[in-house]
Amino acid sequence: MPDPNARFDVQDRVVLITGASRGIGRAFAEAFADAGARVVLTSRTQETLDEVASDIEADGGTALPVAAHVGEIDAIDDLLDTVDEAFGGVDVLINNAATNPHFGPLLTAEDSHWDKTFDVNVKGYWRMVKACYPRMKARGGGKVINIASVAGEQPMAGMGVYGVTKAGVLMLTKTLAAELAQANVQVNAIVPGFIKTKFSKAIWANDDLSESVLKSTPQHRMADPDELAGLALYLGSPASDFVTGSAFRADGGLLVGSGMLE
């Protein structure tokens, strides 16, 4: 009888994760490494990447830390050249790096806020897919997992610019899924709710905002980053080979249940 776990096997797959030095990106890197994948960690700071890679290797995993800025084409090219030399290509790309320099009403944002947020959150994802796609195609297919946000589906107080970019990520995911399907590349999105990370500290460290979030979430809590790892493993494995263009929400019921709460 075939081993049902084989459908979820990511052994020796090369998994490239942006924003991998902390939070969701780090949790994904650790989960894939634990499952036998070879993980490539990238963010802007080499020192923090080295620390994550050291921890993964101490647990018996394989990790390659490479600092790169997803806003710079040359940096991405150098990153992929390093990955090619080490592992021969890429099987799974997880676009996780994000920024949010503006927190407040939409009309108080400056042009620079829009430019920075779009450049990292949308164009950065597009640049990474563009660089990885030929390598995936040469290997017979691949997986792209884009990290979006509930703020891309429903307006969230103070998160207007960020939310618009995450809505862009959702459409980017659908469009790439349609365009890359013939090359056996599946493109999907994970849509987190409120996850307790350094990135979301402006919310959970503020008592009023935190109380509002917990009240609006039927599970009445924020999630830890590793609670998203199962979704990522599924989307990076053969089990999801017929799944593309989809967005998988992990928000504790926030968007479907908030209107029912007293």
Known catalytic residues are 162
Place of tokens 């979820």: 8
Three-class secondary structure of residue 73 per DSSP: helix
Q: Per DSSP, what are the bridge partners of residue 38?
A: 14, 62
User: Cβ–Cβ contacts within 10 Å for residue 177, how many?
Assistant: 20
104: left (phi over 0), alpha (psi -120 to 50) or beta: left
DSSP code at position 224: P
Are 63 and 29 contacting, i.e. CB atoms less than 8 angstroms apart? yes
Three-class secondary structure of residue 61 per DSSP: coil
Residue type, 262: E
User: Cβ–Cβ contacts within 10 Å for residue 198, how many?
Assistant: 9
Burial of residue 103 (number of CB atoms within 10 Å: 0-12, 13-18, 19+): middle
Q: Which long-range contacts does 199-206 make (Cβ < 8 Å, 24+ apart)?
A: 199/23, 199/98, 199/100, 202/103
